[in-house]
Amino acid sequence: MFDTATAGSASPLFIAGIGLAGMGLGLLAGLFSRRVLPQLSGTSGRTPEITTAAVTFVLSALLAWRFGAAAELPAYLLLAVVGVQLARIDVLHHLLPNRLVFPLLCAGLLLLSVSAGVSGGAGNLLRGATGAVILFAFYLILALTSGNGLGMGDVKLAAPLGLYLGYLGWSQLFYGGALGFVAGGLASVVVVLKNRGNKPREVPYGPSMLAAGLAVILLLR
């Protein structure tokens, strides 16, 4: 089981090394996404790529500070690396591709299973799997009933987010899910104001969901 007493105890060298490793993995993830999604590769430009690399470095370093050398760290690094790519694609193309969301869920489940086996956290893994189902169902109901612009990509993204949040605890699952929805709503309001009251047909909720989930993972213990 993850020992919160170890959080924040990692050395600066370890944190910087994990940050650089995460940035390198992020660059590879960008190449992978352009390879499997060639229709999205011609419109990003250099500035989004540099921003993506910088954000991935910062998130990876913060996760290294949060988890230290705990067995959970690789799984949450995966969430940061793939999550940043998903956020970039959603902002630019209003799309959360299945070819990134499903591997995030499956690989996350595998890595957290290994972590649970190493640390004796079978209950954490069960709670994470339950969290994936709960958050998926919650967003599916919202998408079908609220008419607030949530798409099926957002619904599918809720499953891996629920897995990662639920693995850490019920409080993380609740606050991560709730804050993701609230942040998405606020982002929608900002977009409406920016467009002088004309709401666009699609508002990217994925970045808000990912940002809220990662913030809860980093800050709530």
User: What Cα–Cα distance (Å) separates residue 120 from each residue in 5, 70, 72, 115, 124?
Assistant: 17, 12, 12, 8, 9
User: What six digits make up the tokens of 10?
Assistant: 């990692």
Greater confidence (83 vs 7) lies with: 83
Instruction: Considering only CA atoms, give the Rg of the chain.
Output: 17
Identity of the amino acid at 176: G
Q: What is the mean pLDDT of the chain?
A: 87
Q: Is 5's pLDDT higher than 60?
A: no
pLDDT single digits (tens) 36-83 = 877 666 555 566 778 899 999 999 999 999 999 999 999 999 999 999
- pLDDT given for residue 81 in this prediction: 96
Q: What is the reported pTM?
A: 0.89
Q: Where does residue 76 rank: exposed (0-12), middle (13-18), buried (19+ CB within 10 A)?
A: buried
Q: Is 9's pLDDT higher than 60?
A: yes
Longest Cα separation, the chain: 54
Q: Is 169's pLDDT higher than 50?
A: yes
Are 131 and 75 in contact by the 8 Å Cβ rule? The answer is no
